[in-house]
A and B are shown apart, each in its own frame.
Chain A
Amino acid sequence: MIDMGDAHAEALPAPAGFGSRWIKIIAVAFTSLTGLACFVILAMVAIILGDIVIHGLPGISWEFLSAAPKAGMTEGGIFPAIFGTVALVLLMTLAVVPLGVAAAVYLQEYASQDSKLVSLVRLALQNLAGVPAIVFGLFGLGLFVEFAGGSIDALFFGGKLTFGQPCIFWASLTLAVLTLPTVVVATEESLRAVPRSYREAAYALGATRWQVVRYVVLPQSIGGILTGTILAISRGAGEVAPIMFTGAAYFLPHLPTKLNDQFMELGYHVYVMATQSPDVEATKPILYATVFVLLAVTFALNFAAVLIRSRIRRRLRST
């Protein structure tokens, strides 16, 4: 290879007063520093994942995955928590995707872009994204469990405690509020990416605004919407604070079967075992294995969403 550095040095002599040696040193230093930053990130991920895999994998067995906890969480499995996590995340997705997509469609397609309302909603979403998770937990307890649940009980169940208590329904709605900004922002992004020319072509064919959204804009942005869903799932599946007061249970002998049942959840289970267990040392292997399963479940949910997305994309392309 030709040494371009020297060729340049001949053609463009370094400015006087600032030695070319220094420029080279600074360049090398910068390259190393940026490289180092990347290495630190890699190392952190490797250490975290490695630690979890090394300590968690031995604890994984069929019994661990399929049985309920026993003996004050020091024995048995975590199936109820796996089930609860999956159910929670699915319910959350059902709630957040239609709401988020509808909001994004309104903001992007219907509202006038310089209206005060639109900037207000965008500001609200940004603030929502910055609210600490624990605040969502308390908010969910106050608004959903106490207020909404209490009202439902008073109106439909004659005051009998039915929805006015922490349960999977309120927990999933709380998580939906937490992940709403993610879905709205991702959807808006993908709506914006639909070329103006497509919309104009559809309008020129006599489409109404709704038809443009239905036949042109939404089919085009389905990939971005699902990306938002994936991000929401990743975020929602790992959160403990929002569900602590709104539905997650320490231990339950049965699986949730109704919307107003409480449930066990992997992240909360980890928190409980790490802080509330009478014998922390004895639960440690189970703790590691649970963290491993939590990561695996989050990954599996993500992977399922990615599969769905690629399948839809393929179907759109093949036609």
Chain B
Amino acid sequence: MTPIIEFRKFSAWYGDAPSLQEVTLQVPPHEILGVIGPAGGGKTTLLRSLNRMNDFEPRFRCEGDVLFHGLDLYRQPVDVAVLRRKMGMVFAVPVPLPGSILQNLELGPRLDGRSGGMDGRIETCLKAAYLWDEVKDRLDLAAQSLSGGQQQRLCLARSLMLQPEVLLLDEPCSGLDPISTAKIEEALQLLKKDLTVILVTNNVMQASRVADRTAFFLQGKLVEWGPTQQIFVNPREKLTHDYISGRFG
């Protein structure tokens, strides 16, 4: 299958400090790619290179290629706003914007100049994020009054409102309780029918539970990647084995 996303010898720096070194990686569509590795390994840089969120770092620079549907995101002209709408992003800390649940959900389409007739989509997205039953009667409630787990699922639903092709999840469950985590993981399994997911996680077990493929990053280098089964049962590299068995991290 042709990959939807492809990194080719992609390197990135913040100032002088290398953050990613010659990463080559393909992500097939309708799969979940789990990205694991200790902090500072370049996982978030990888994610933010995809929707060009690194543009806001004045000292960021990169070499190599990132391809999305064959389009080189750093060498060919790209409308960043359109790109970001195709790649929904959920951050480690839930960021409900001020305003109601409804306003949060409507913001994405509104920024795109679309408004009205979204009721159906709101329900679909809230259901997909496993949040509908908890908020269906109180969509006017301030988003920030939801619990942390609910906020994160709202952020997921808000990204889904964009009808993205790719979901970029940056440790989305790091601050969540087990029940909310389970709900998000369930949601991802269903969502991959419609889109491709890149899930950065500090929780090795989460990757083993939900990812189709897993990539292990250490200090900016992609140590190993492959089908999750293989990475967890029979890793080629000793470093990978040590990390997933909890010997460092």
Contacts and interface: CB of A to CB of B under 8 A. Distances in A.
Interface of A: 112, 114, 197-198, 200-208, 211, 215-216, 219-220, 316-317, 319
A319 B98 CA distance: 9
Contacts of A197: 91, 93, 95
- Which label, helix, strand, loop or mixed, suits the secondary structure of the A interface? helix
A200 B81 contact: no
B4 interface: no
Nearest to B85: A206
10 contacts: A200-B91, A204-B51, A205-B107, A205-B159, A206-B81, A206-B162, A208-B81, A216-B97, A316-B98, A319-B142
Given A205-B84, A205-B107, 6 more contacts: A200-B53, A204-B51, A204-B53, A204-B88, A206-B84, A319-B142
Q: What 8 A-B pairs come out closest when comparing CB atoms?
A: A206-B85, A204-B89, A201-B95, A205-B108, A206-B84, A206-B81, A197-B95, A207-B111
Contacts of B82: 206
A219 B107 CA distance: 14
Interface string B103-119: 10001101110000000
B248 interface: no
A319 B91 CA distance: 24
Interface of B: 51, 53, 56, 58, 81-82, 84-85, 88-89, 91, 93, 95, 97-100, 103, 107-108, 110-112, 140, 142, 155, 158-159, 162
B95 A319 contact: no
Nearest to A220: B98
Contacts of A206: 81-82, 84-85, 108, 111-112, 162
B142 A203 contact: no
Nearest to A199: B56
Given A208-B81, A211-B111, A319-B140, A203 B53 contact: yes
